[in-house]
Amino acid sequence: MAAIIFDFDGTLGDTLRGILATSQETLRRMGFPPADEAALVATIGLPLRFNFTRGAGLSEEEADQAVILYRAIFDEVAVPLIDGFPGVEETLSTLYERGIPMAVASSRGQRSLEMLMHQLGYDRYIPTERCFGVESVARSKPAPDMVYLILAKLGVKPEETLVVGDTTFDIEMGRNAGCHTCAVTYGNQSADTLAGAYPDYMIDDLRKLI
């Protein structure tokens, strides 16, 4: 592979506890009952507003307000709960030393994506200018737009690029762009669910990518 594109949440960063805690605290502050956690988890990988429409049953207008509040309290509530997965730094370091260009395609907002990449030390291997948040494109995952943007930035072809992610949205994004795909099963979706998106590869530890 000439380049590798990673998802962030559930692939590089173990953000699940932080996302759930911030979502529930947002609902609490807005006067709504707690949401079913399985429903919230099912929306991870999509833009944040789906967390509140599909996950918590809020109206479009209520979800817009929830997104604003969520982002306002994210640093306070979520960041202390976020860490990297085992083997991620080792993998990124090895790929970096081998000279393989890497990028991040995330449904997370650009500011928090860059902040978390820095907090976890991953920006030593994938610079900020190769980290793309939800604002980067008009159509979010599973549309291929973000991958197309990254391919143009890196100057590589789809058939020589690997897209790595923990949700069907990531795998479908990569497939829709004509890339090879690799699903990781330690993130937010099960191996059975991921298999339904027909990834080329499935691994349970990012070090197996090497």
Report the share of the chain in percent with pLDDT over 70: 100
Q: Give the Cβ contact number of residue 207 at 10 Å.
A: 13
* Mean pLDDT, residues 9-33 taken together: 97
Residue 136 confidence (pLDDT): 95
- 3-state class of 28 per DSSP? helix
pTM of the model: 0.93
CATH class of this structure's domain 16-81 = mainly alpha
Q: What is the pLDDT of residue 110?
A: 96
Provide the mean pLDDT of the chain: 97
* Tokens linked to 199: 């990834």
Q: Which member of 7, 14, 166, 170 is catalytic?
A: 7
Query: Residue 30: what pLDDT?
Result: 97
Q: Is 9 a catalytic residue?
A: yes
Q: Which of 9, 14, 145, 166 is catalytic?
A: 9
Residue 7 catalytic? yes
Model pLDDT for residues 139-184, shown as the tens digit of each residue: 999 999 999 999 999 999 999 999 999 999 999 999 999 999 999 9
Average pLDDT over residues 60-74: 97
Is the pLDDT confidence value at 188 over 90?
Answer: yes
Residue 182 is predicted with a pLDDT of 98
The four Cα atoms 115, 117, 120, 126 give a dihedral, to 10 degrees, of: -150
Per-residue pLDDT tens digits for 82-124? 999 999 999 999 999 999 999 999 999 999 999 999 999 999 9
Main-chain phi, psi angles of 11, to 5 degrees: -115, -55
**Backbone phi, psi, residue 190, to 5°:** -75, 165
Domain residue ranges of the chain, discontinuous segments joined by +: 3-14+83-209, 16-81
pLDDT in the model for residue 170: 98
Q: Do residues 84 and 14 touch, judged by C-beta distance below 8 A?
A: yes
Specify the pLDDT at position 53.
Answer: 97
CATH superfamily of 3-14+83-209: HAD superfamily/HAD-like (3.40.50.1000)
pLDDT band at 1 (very low <50, low <70, confident <90, very high): confident
Reply yes or no on whether the pLDDT at 208 is more than 90.
yes
